Amino acid sequence: MVMSKYTDIIDLADMGSDWWLKVVKLASDIYDDPQKYSKACDGKIMATLFYEPSTRTQMSFQTAMLRLGGTIIGFDNPATSSVAKGENLKDTTKIVSSYADIMVMRHPNDGAAKAAAITADCPIINAGDGGHLHPSQTLTDMLTLYREKGRLTDLTIGLCGDLKNGRTVHSMCKALCGFKGIKFVFISTPELGMPKYIKDILMASSCEFTENPSLEDAIKDLDMLYMTRVQKERFASEEEYNSLKDAYCLDRAKLNKGRQDLIVLHPLPRVDEIPMDVDDDPRAMYFKQAKYGVFVRMALILTVMNDREHSVPLFTGKTYNGVECRNPNCITRKEHYLPRYFRGTADLLECEYCDDRVLC
């Protein structure tokens, strides 16, 4: 077993539901009285390394640190850093983590945050790794449910759009499946369907899920509808993206089939899946959700900085001679020096960076 040196937030599953609830409740407390926390990170530095575009995640992390009294360094365009000179992920993150007290990273490859955590010299928070996970978004979604529905249990949640490539919905399923009475409805086309490994996790935790390709039909039973963008950057061809990009649109007519106490979330950015005239409906919660993101990230930064003892398992399995992850987007396919760790049995192995399966 290889443990992390710090309280790294790579996958919420590493932390457990008591820990998530503690962060969500702290975030809610900060929302009600932010002044109380305005000096909590006095003298601390947070580095944000964004190898992929971002508005909300990056700026909400930065705002969070500034509102806690700390300062920020980092890049939002790797082309203006030494990455453009060919520097590998290990060297960049090793150096930056020796400058900062906490490091937040977004990267286009699945498993990149875990790869960085192997050698980083400060705690790292995964701000999105390829199509894999997005833990701080899930905590934001939990805070939104906690404040707007008053509970994180007994909810029927519809996930609509690109469930195949959307890291936000993968993270959400992995976290909320542990709560009592959560039922998921997957609303997508077969091409955009939820990966099998996520469905397996839901089945293993006895979390109910159904699939319904019709948004119009599925919306009637939902407590929360989570709309997502078709992830253009994760498609092999523009043609394939174009054939799927308009698969779902929550217009007013469809929303009107939903209950009055429904809430509509979206991690944003939206493209055409929610027309702007839906924004005025009181059930449209996505702008407030984005605002909650700052308070969740304040709570996350504080918890990680004060919880120096809580290391997480990075690798529980082992390396196998000649076995490679077959996911072309896995970080091990790009950063070749990384040790290839797999968990599972000899005929079905799972890559410990990206959770993809290798059948031997």
Contacts with ligand NCD, residue ranges (CB under 6 A) = 56-57, 128, 134, 137, 167-168, 229, 231, 267-268
Minimal distance in Å, beta carbon 327 to ligand NCD?
17
- Residue (129 or 223) nearer to ligand NCD, CB: 129
Minimal distance in Å, beta carbon 229 to ligand NCD?
4
- Residue (156 or 168) nearer to ligand NCD, CB: 168
Cis, peptide link before residue 313, omega less than 30° from 0: no
Minimal distance in Å, beta carbon 268 to ligand NCD?
5
Minimal distance in Å, beta carbon 148 to ligand NCD?
17
**Measured CA distances, 102 to 115, 125, 318, 329 (Å):** 16, 8, 28, 26
- Residue (107 or 114) nearer to ligand NCD, CB: 107
- Residue (268 or 305) nearer to ligand NCD, CB: 268
Evaluate whether 141 touches 266 at the Cβ level (below 8 Å). Answer: no
DSSP SS3 for 351: strand
Evaluate whether 312 touches 15 at the Cβ level (below 8 Å). Answer: yes
- Residue (42 or 233) nearer to ligand NCD, CB: 233
Residues ≥6 apart with Cβ < 8 Å to 66 = 72
Measured from the Cβ of residue 211, the count of other Cβ atoms closer than 10 Å reads 15
Q: Which of 18, 61, 1, 63 is nearest to 307 (CA)?
A: 18
- Residue (173 or 349) nearer to ligand NCD, CB: 173
The Cα–Cα gap between 91 and 103 comes to 14
Minimal distance in Å, beta carbon 206 to ligand NCD?
28
Minimal distance in Å, beta carbon 128 to ligand NCD?
5
DSSP SS3 for 125: strand
Q: How many Cα atoms are found within 13 Å in the side-chain-facing hemisphere of 7?
A: 16
Minimal distance in Å, beta carbon 167 to ligand NCD?
5
The Cα–Cα gap between 299 and 294 comes to 9
Which tokens go with 51? 């190898």
- Residue (165 or 332) nearer to ligand NCD, CB: 165
